[in-house]
Amino acid sequence: MTLEPHQPIRLTQQVKAGGCASKLPAGSLRQVLSALPAQTSPDLVVGFETSDDAGIFRIGPKQALVQTIDFFTPLVDDPFTFGQIAATNALSDVYAMGGRPLTALAVVCFPQDSDLGILEQIMRGGLSKMSEANCIVVGGHSVRDVEMKFGYAVTGLIDPERVYTNAGAVPGDTLILTKPIGTGVITTALKQGKSEAVWVDHAIRSMTTLNGTASALAIACSGVHAITDITGFGLMGHAREMALGSGVTLEIETAHLPLLDGALSAVRLEAIPGGLLANRDFAECLVQDSVGSQIPDDLRALLYDPQTSGGLLISVARENAPGLLASFQREGVPAAVIGCVSGASTPGAHAPAIILR
């Protein structure tokens, strides 16, 4: 009798949706959070009211905690790589606020009868990225679950007088994005068996690159007014939060958007994650095309693509933007200017939060 060769488990086939595409829709989450009572504390610097990247709590005159949690289902098949992506993504929210990660707690959901060697590799991958970030994993929690999920709760330190939120963009600012977009459609293509290896390789390289360097360069640059990271709600979802939180209108030059190799091809192959459709339902009502613009449908779809471990969207004074961009280029950060902050919005005027060109 000839034994069949052992077939490795494809993690992406064990879950319905992968990575940040598995998050609850932004509209559903906003509906619940808006119904909760307000928290009042003189030491709460940033809470969940503005849908920011992390919470910040003052513990001293010049020191505050920055805290976040992020975990999700597999979006790649290799367990070690999945762990790396989950860790990089969880650290990103601390970097987006301008903080320095210190400790992390692992969050594990794992099928009871699955191979524990897979879980070991996932956790090894995560630990490798936490070590790269000089963030110590001090413990965690696990539960049995039909679908595996992994991530971290991360705690860092930040100066409460130097916090970068998504609500500080100023008219006249330049918008810089530090990573290309397209991870959602590419990993969906992988799950559907439609992707090319080079697409996945480039997406993995992006998703396992820490935002620490980009964050450090941004906070060292004068004139930076707002930062947010682009994750599950897509570029338009997070840009929407920046525009509304800052009371401004963002103008996006769609032809200047950095795209991952294969992202447009994945859209054309109809590798559309459910999160993309949910993001479009949430944000498109506040997005308007400029007069005469002709935006291809495949590129328009990528504007709402849920990103996993995406880049930072930075609003910086126009005069400081060239210097910041040059510093990114020197350090190998694939940043690009994608638009500007055009002006203050008028409350109650139903003006668009985002204009596409």
Mean pLDDT of 225-247: 94
pLDDT at 5: 42
CA angle 228/232/237 to nearest 5° reads 60
Ranges of CATH 3.30.1330.10 domains, the chain: 11-158
CATH number 3.30.465.10 given to 11-158: no
Residue 113 among known ligand-binding residues: no
Residue 16 among known ligand-binding residues: no
Q: What is the 3-state secondary structure (H, E, C) of the chain?
A: CCCCCCCCCCHHHHCCCCEHHHCCCHHHHHHHHCCCCCCCCCCEEECCCCCCCCEEEEEECCEEEEEEEEEEECCCCCHHHHHHHHHHHHHHHHHHHCCEEEEEEEEEEECCCCCHHHHHHHHHHHHHHHHHCCCEEEEEEEEECCCCEEEEEEEEEECCCCCCCCCCCCCCCEEEECCCECHHHHHHHHHCCCCCHHHHHHHHHHHCCCCHHHHHHHHCCCCEEEEEECCCCHHHHHHHHHHHHHCEEEEECHHHCCECCCHHHHHHCCCCCHHHHHHHHHHHHHEEECCCCCCCHHHHHHCCCCCCCCCEEEEECHHHHHHHHHHHHHCCCCCEEEEEEEEECCCCCCCCCEEEC
pLDDT at 257: 97
Using CA atoms, how far apart are residues 319 and 310, in angstroms rounded to an integer?
Answer: 26
Using CA atoms, how far apart are residues 265 and 242, in angstroms rounded to an integer?
Answer: 29
Residue 229 among known ligand-binding residues: yes
Q: How confident is the model at residue 1 (pLDDT cuts 50, 70, 90)?
A: very low
Name the pTM for this structure.
Answer: 0.88
Q: Is the pLDDT of residue 17 over 80?
A: no
Ranges of CATH 3.90.650.10 domains, the chain: 174-356
Residue 50 among known ligand-binding residues: yes
Using CA atoms, how far apart are residues 229 and 4, in angstroms rounded to an integer?
Answer: 45
Q: How confident is the model at residue 212 (pLDDT cuts 50, 70, 90)?
A: very high
The dihedral of CA 242, 356, 283, 258: what is its sign? negative
Averaged pLDDT score across all residues of the chain: 89
Would you tell me the crossing angle of helices 79-97 and 116-132 to the nearest 10 degrees?
30
Amino acid, res. 70: D
Residue 201 among known ligand-binding residues: no
Residue 191 among known ligand-binding residues: no
Between 47 and 4, the higher pLDDT residue:
47
Q: How confident is the model at residue 75 (pLDDT cuts 50, 70, 90)?
A: confident
Would you tell me the crossing angle of helices 212-219 and 321-330 to the nearest 10 degrees?
150
pLDDT, tens only, 218-227 = 999 999 999 9
CATH superfamily of 174-356: PurM-like C-terminal domain (3.90.650.10)
pLDDT at 114: 85
Beta-sheet strand order (sheet of 63-72): 44-46, 55-60, 63-72, 149-158, 100-110, 136-144
Residue 140 among known ligand-binding residues: yes
Mean pLDDT of 42-70: 82
Beta-sheet strand order (sheet of 248-252): 224-229, 312-316, 174-177, 336-344, 248-252, 354-356, 287-289
Q: How confident is the model at residue 272 (pLDDT cuts 50, 70, 90)?
A: very high
pLDDT at 3: 38
pLDDT, tens only, 282-293 = 899 999 999 888
Q: How confident is the model at residue 29 (pLDDT cuts 50, 70, 90)?
A: low
Is 129 within 8 Å of 91 (Cβ atoms)? yes
Using CA atoms, how far apart are residues 71 and 230, in angstroms rounded to an integer?
Answer: 15
> Looking at beta carbons, which pairs linking 60-63 to residues 24 or more positions away fall under 8 Å?
62/159, 62/160, 62/161, 63/157, 63/158, 63/159, 63/160
Tokens of 266: 């994945």
pLDDT at 134: 97
Residue 43 among known ligand-binding residues: no
Q: Is the pLDDT of residue 6 over 50?
A: no
Between 352 and 134, the higher pLDDT residue:
134
Mean pLDDT of 26-42: 72
Tokens of 199: 């697409």
pLDDT at 239: 95
Residue 159 among known ligand-binding residues: no
Query: Could you give the residue numbers annotated as active site?
Result: 20
Mean pLDDT of 8-30: 62
pLDDT at 38: 75
Using CA atoms, how far apart are residues 241 and 346, in angstroms rounded to an integer?
Answer: 16
Is 72 within 8 Å of 308 (Cβ atoms)? yes
Mean pLDDT of 183-190: 94
